[in-house]
Amino acid sequence: MTSIKGLYAIGEANFSDHGANRLGASALMQGLADGYFVLPYTIQNYLADQIQVPRFSTDLPEFAAAEKAVNDKIQKLMNIKGHRSVDSIHKELGHIMWDFVGMGRTKESLTKALAQLKEVRKTFWSDLRIPGEANELNVELEKAIRLADFIEIGELMAYDALNREESCGGHFREEHQTPEGEALRHDDKFSYVACWKYTGEGKEPELIKEDLNYEFTKVQTRNYKS
């Protein structure tokens, strides 16, 4: 459990600061391990006590506002009535992320990715087709809601990767490498935790930084050859 009662963290986030723009395989495997082997023996103790907790009232303005926002989004998606399936747009998004925002990336590829992601977002909100109805079991609607989030996080990852002009961790900015071809960090410029603030639809996010000051750990470049 985190410092917030009832909020659990699994995967890498359960013991350290989790980097959103890093290798996915190790984070995925740890999430699976926690989900299969750890959570069933930890969260059940918390849930067992919840039977004594009175039901929370939904007669609150915050609940009404959240419910309305979700229903408005669903209605907006259903009313597009375009020609592209959710899966086809999802696949297009995946190709962009794989080709231009992958393990090896450049300023040119990330700039190209942001331009193409902007077009994917435009296509999604103008030419999406969701069969069926909103008030029934609708897998395509569920996928569309998730895909809207995927597009946003894809753009955010590209923004962050473009801003960080160094090679760090497992992600390689090809312009920033040592003569031996190893990752080249620039700790004098990028030794900070980055957070991006949403500034509105279609607007660039705002970068918020918190400097990293190490007292007991020596900062050094990871060597993949050793």
- One digit per residue, the tens of pLDDT, for the chain of length 226 reads 888 888 887 777 766 555 544 566 677 777 788 888 888 888 888 888 888 888 888 899 999 999 999 999 999 999 999 999 999 999 999 999 999 999 899 999 999 999 999 999 999 999 999 999 999 999 999 999 999 999 999 999 999 999 999 987 677 899 999 888 888 889 899 999 889 999 988 788 999 999 988 888 888 776 666 5
Domains of the chain and any CATH numbers: 1-50 (no CATH), 61-163 (1.20.58.100), 176-226 (no CATH)
d(CA 177, CA 198): 32
Neighbours of 12 (CB within 10 A): 19
Q: Give the predicted TM-score (pTM) of the model.
A: 0.79
CA distances from 162 to 60, 106, 154 (A): 42, 8, 12
Q: Provide the 8-state DSSP code for 180.
A: T
Indicate the burial class of 215 (C-beta count within 10 angstroms; 0-12, 13-18, 19 or more).
exposed
